[in-house]
Amino acid sequence: MDEDGLDASRFAADDESPSRADTDPESDASADDADADGDGPMPNVPDPDPQKNDVPEDVQKYARFTKMDGAQYDRVNEFLRDRTYVTAREWAIARLCSDFRTETGVEMTKIGENLPELVPFMTDTYTPQAVNQARASFEEKVRKAGATFLYGAMCDFFTAEELDDVMYESTEVAKFLLEVEGVDLSVEEELEAEERISSVMREVREASEELREREDEE
In terms of domains, do 115 and 138 share one? yes
Tens of pLDDT along 153-187?
888 888 888 888 888 899 899 999 999 998 887 88
Tens of pLDDT along 78-130?
999 999 999 999 999 999 999 999 999 999 999 999 999 999 999 999 999 99
Distance between CA 47 and CA 112 in Å, rounded? 11
In terms of domains, do 69 and 54 share one? yes
Residue 211: which domain range?
145-217
In terms of domains, do 8 and 112 share one? yes
What is the DSSP code (8-state) at residue 45? B
Which pLDDT value is given to residue 35?
42
In terms of domains, do 149 and 136 share one? no
Domain end among 88, 117, 144:
144
Closest by alpha carbon to 27, among 101, 91, 103?
Answer: 91
In terms of domains, do 132 and 167 share one? no
The enclosing H or E element of 102 equals: strand 101-102
Alpha helices by DSSP H, the chain:
20-23, 25-34, 57-61, 73-83, 88-99, 108-113, 115-118, 128-154, 160-180, 187-217
Which pLDDT value is given to residue 171?
87
Distance between CA 144 and CA 150 in Å, rounded? 10
In terms of domains, do 135 and 149 share one? no
CA atoms within 13 A on the CB side of 208: 17
In terms of domains, do 98 and 190 share one? no
Q: How far is CA 6 from its chain centroid?
A: 15
In terms of domains, do 210 and 194 share one? yes
In terms of domains, do 87 and 129 share one? yes
Domain end among 81, 112, 144:
144
Tens of pLDDT along 12-50?
544 443 334 344 444 444 444 444 443 333 455 445 554
Kindly tell me the sign of the dihedral angle through the C-alpha atoms of 79, 80, 85, 90.
Answer: negative
Domain end among 99, 114, 144:
144
Query: Which one is predicted more confidently, 2 or 168?
Result: 168
Kindly tell me the sign of the dihedral angle through the C-alpha atoms of 174, 176, 182, 184.
Answer: positive
Structurally, the chain folds into a number of domains equal to 2
In terms of domains, do 157 and 115 share one? no
Which pLDDT value is given to residue 109?
96
Residues sharing a CB contact under 8 Å with residue 21, sequence separation 6 or more, in sequence order: 28
Which pLDDT value is given to residue 20?
40
Which pLDDT value is given to residue 52?
53
Distance between CA 217 and CA 129 in Å, rounded? 53
Which pLDDT value is given to residue 89?
96
